[in-house]
Chains A and B, each alone.
Chain A
């Protein structure tokens, strides 16, 4: 009975948190038109969340593509279908690895930066000072950062996918000796606009989820060093779990 009661309490807490997150999102969406009117603030956050994450995204994209090509070549060779490597790599990266790995990297780099920045602003009374200046911190701090993340994520995923395919070509064509013509032509004939759109939809949804989690956790962190640390950790963990759950749901929906 105690276990059941604790489970019910945990479920209730989870539902309360989900409700609070949804209300927070609604509040941010209500402020979005006003935030877009000051687009300079959003551009600055696209730079913080996107441009500053470029190096890690590009590096990881390259190696993910290279590994995928190695594994794919080994597998396809068993069936004598190594010329399909381009298709396999492109579909794997565009539809799955690009959006998912980008979201995981985004939450680790930009998400933690967002959560800790907003958490520290709370701990040092900067958010309270804004409220006292009659400036709603949700409008001034959270919304531009949220929109910055939402815009940056699909762009980062696109760059990740492009570099990933280049990495797959590097290993498949240059190292393993797959015919370059076969590699690119198979990819062109097999990969359709819908496949690219699937990746775009996924990365956009992940962008909303990861940015929302980071901003929510930072804004609601305890105003202590431990509280900020906990918010940062929760951002990474929750973002990773939510990304993978959403990935399954979107894949099932879009297939």
Chain B
């Protein structure tokens, strides 16, 4: 698609219009052919298109954030187990802490497995060489 990129006269930020008539009157603009308006950047006083490497890195960061949020939601379900054990240990009640660890051994193992899977996923995301490869990585545990 075509965009018309310019620096907003009031806000001083990069803007891209999708219709030429939406460019404010009297403002200088650059006409660009893009895949997405997000492909345009303003750097060192220049309006330009993102490089493939920049797009790849952006998608990588987005994927890592999505993974982090997903892992947090998985661990959240058993956070109460860790909190109870930690409380017992803080109070010096090691017997109770041990009992809780045994009682919730399955949940604790599951948390460890989630963390290991998280590390594998992070590595896969960091190792991805292309956008297609990155996008094909499915963030789903189990």
A-B complex is real? no
- Measuring CB to CB, which residues of chain B are less than 8 angstroms from any residue of chain A? none
